[in-house]
């Protein structure tokens, strides 16, 4: 195995977030499940947008946010995802490149416009997401470049990729190429409803060794093992996964590895403004630690630090240098 | 004169802000004048965008920001400005309508894309603006609806309108229609360099009575009267203007009216994040006070309150209800 050119390559849906504040009543009135992610078609996207408040646009996408976080730690990062050659697509490409991430996936020149996620942030800082995948659903296996995957220490995939059919094939190809090159494959379960849609396939990926590192929050884990009991779910995960991290919001996280379960604390947050991206950024810090050969507990602290930064402001990408932040906290 | 349907109608360039943080060196390296606004062509827009950091997109435009502020105070507001029927144009239209502003100017169906302002925010919170007018320069006199202007207590115009030729004609038509209907005309000088480009024409508008209410910051006022001395400039303004407000950042403002010069204090700001929109939002508060018949000093306090809100966060439009804020401060 040659030395890696990238620490982490992420593959995910290329999405621009459209973020507005909303009251809980707005979610109720539109049949939205608070805190969740719902896939919507273009007509519903238009209807929701027409009724939501003034918004800001920020590049997003779960794995894309993670990869920007990886780059913000000063690690070498690349991204693969499909946008269209429209204003939003050019915005997405600009923002991820401006964050020092290598991004060379060609734009779709026809078909649906660049994907959007309509995010309603309620006064408690919780975010409720409505995703119109648009061009992202046309990510194809041929967009996954063998050289790029082989040259990356870790290939990181978002569970949301399992929704569009083509993207699932791209996911499988990426995992196979990574393992062929002796690299690691990491997966985030993304969302409890996403787990509900693809439970058996996700469990096969974990049990079968397609996934070396798994990220899940408590709700996703419980959905994966269809239990309301955290202990039961964690024990089941320990049986099946090589290395996993279960994130538990302000209760920190639990690292699951060959030695057992190890809880790691969260960083205190003065005021939660917007939880969008907390899981994505946790993964960023953990992956950076892993790529650098840090102990798992240290990697988890890096994840907790990045998550704390991103929930302190609107939007799912870091506003401050995570490298500097890690140095301030003695984590590098 | 019949009772007004709108408290304020604003006419200005329809612009989407593209905001990124930057170091002072970036401004120097690109020959930008810190704190100013520079008009740029499409090629320079592309060049600046390619080199600036990850950005967020928020609807902007000087008069548009003011009008959104007016609506946030609970007053009745309308806006006239030209965007194109593209993704950014639809964003602009959505955001201003979602802020409860009446906006019916038809989109341009051909020609340049929706205007953008590339804003670099330095660590001190100061903003440096590079504006590509795009579709905004095609605002035409026929976009100014007689019924709308006649039905608005105050017609508010931004000095930036003086840059595109067609928009200047739209400005003149709006002022004439407003006065025909016995309404007030207000003008913001926008920017010291804008004053430098149009000094004599702006002075003619003030002296000739085309403008009833003038907003200027200290730099714009000094540019208008070509003096470095504030007192000299203020005295000259008092000779020529009926009612004016000179904003002086953290020193508050000075109201200039028939009774003389009256200083009014600013609201304290815990931390200046981004000064974009401070002048725009000051105008919003003052205009709301004026439309409600409040004493000029009270109107100025409403302006100061709105300015303080907007410089406490990124972006030039209020994030909290100015109506509620005014109530909390006993200003309604």
Distances (CA, A) of B269 to A232, A260, B218, B273: 51, 50, 20, 10
Residue A189 belongs to some domain of the structure: yes
ipTM of the complex: 0.91
pLDDT at A164 over 90: no
Q: Look at residue A255 and give its three-state secondary structure.
A: strand
Please give the tally of structural domains in chain B: 1
pLDDT tens for A23-58 read: 999 999 999 999 989 999 999 999 999 999 999 999
- Residue A332 pLDDT: 80
* DSSP label at residue B152: E
Say how many C-beta atoms besides its own lie within 10 A of residue A232's C-beta.
14
Mean pLDDT of A223-227: 97
Nearest CA in chain B to A52: B98
DSSP per-residue codes, A44-79:
HHHHHHHHS-S-EEEEE-HHHHHHHHHHHTT--EEE
Q: Are A103 and A79 in contact (CB under 8 A)?
A: yes
Residue A42 belongs to some domain of the structure: no
Which residues of chain B approach chain A closer than 8 Å at the C-beta? 20-21, 49-50, 52-59, 68, 86-88, 91, 94-96, 98-99, 113, 315, 317, 319
Residue A235 belongs to some domain of the structure: yes
Residue B313 belongs to some domain of the structure: yes
Q: Which of B56, B91, B276 to mutate to test the interface with A (most CBs of A within 10 A)?
A: B56
pLDDT at A113 over 80: yes
Residue A27 belongs to some domain of the structure: no
pLDDT tens for A182-213 read: 999 999 999 999 999 999 999 999 999 999 99
pLDDT by residue for chain B (332 residues), tens digit each? 568 999 999 999 999 999 999 999 999 999 999 998 999 999 999 999 999 999 999 999 999 999 999 999 999 999 999 999 999 999 999 999 999 999 999 999 999 999 999 999 999 999 999 999 999 999 999 999 999 999 999 999 999 999 888 899 999 999 999 999 999 999 999 999 999 999 999 999 999 999 999 999 999 999 999 999 999 999 999 999 999 999 999 999 999 999 999 999 999 998 999 999 999 999 999 999 999 999 999 999 999 999 999 999 989 999 999 999 999 999 98
What CATH number did the domain enclosing A307 receive? 3.40.1190.20
Rounded Cα distance, B222 and B225, in Å: 5
Residue A120 belongs to some domain of the structure: no
Nearest CA in chain A to B93: A54
Go through B283-314 and write b for each residue having 16 or more CB atoms within 10 A of its CB, e for each that does not. bbbbbbbbbeebebebbbbbbbbbbbbbbbbb
Give the distance from residue A312's alpha carbon to the nearest chain B alpha carbon, in angstroms. Answer: 13
Q: Are A11 and A174 in contact (CB under 8 A)?
A: yes
Contact (CB<8Å) B54/A95: yes
- Residue A1 pLDDT: 57
Q: Which residue reads 């996207």 in tokens?
A: A45
Its domain, for residue B52, covers 6-328
Rounded Cα distance, B3 and A63, in Å: 55
Residue A29 belongs to some domain of the structure: no
Residue A256 belongs to some domain of the structure: yes
Q: Are A32 and A104 in contact (CB under 8 A)?
A: no
Contact (CB<8Å) B55/A94: yes
Going by pLDDT thresholds of 50, 70 and 90, the confidence category of residue A3 is confident
Give the distance from residue A98's alpha carbon to the nearest chain B alpha carbon, in angstroms. Answer: 5
pLDDT at A2 over 80: no
Mean pLDDT of A251-260: 96
pLDDT at A315 over 70: yes
């Amino acid at each position: 195995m040659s030395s890696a050119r990238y620490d982490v390559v992420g593959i995910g849906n290329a999405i621009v977030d459209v973020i507005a504040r909303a009251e809980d009543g707005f979610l109720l009135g539109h049949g939205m499940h608070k805190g969740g992610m719902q896939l919507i078609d273009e007509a519903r996207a238009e209807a929701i947008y027409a009724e939501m408040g003034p918004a800001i646009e920020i590049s997003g996408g779960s794995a894309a946010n993670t990869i920007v976080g990886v780059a913000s730690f000063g690690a070498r990062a690349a991204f693969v995802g499909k946008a269209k050659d429209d204003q939003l697509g050019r915005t997405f490409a600009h923002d991820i490149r401006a964050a020092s991430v290598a991004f060379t996936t060609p734009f779709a020149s026809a078909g649906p416009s660049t994907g959007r996620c309509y995010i309603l942030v309620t006064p408690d800082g919780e975010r409720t997401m409505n995703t119109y995948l648009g061009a992202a659903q046309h990510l194809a296996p041929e967009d996954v470049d063998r050289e790029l995957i082989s040259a990356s220490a870790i290939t990181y995939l978002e569970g949301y990729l399992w929704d569009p059919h083509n993207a699932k094939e791209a996911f499988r190809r990426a995992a196979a190429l990574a393992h062929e090159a002796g690299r690691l494959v990491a997966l985030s379960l993304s969302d409890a409803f996403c787990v509900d849609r693809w439970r058996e396939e996700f469990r096969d990926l974990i049990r079968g060794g397609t996934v070396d590192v798994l990220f899940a929050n408590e709700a996703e884990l419980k959905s994966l093992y269809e239990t309301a009991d955290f202990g039961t779910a964690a024990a089941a995960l320990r049986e099946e996964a090589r290395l996993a991290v279960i994130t538990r919001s302000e209760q920190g996280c639990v690292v699951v590895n060959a030695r057992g379960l190890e809880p790691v604390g969260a960083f205190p947050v003065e005021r939660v403004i917007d939880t969008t991206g907390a899981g994505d950024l946790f993964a960023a810090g953990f992956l950076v630690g892993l790529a650098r050969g840090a102990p798992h507990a240290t990697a988890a602290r890096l994840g907790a630090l990045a998550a704390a930064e991103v929930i302190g402001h609107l939007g799912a990408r870091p506003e401050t240098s995570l490298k500097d932040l890690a140095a301030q906290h003695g984590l590098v």
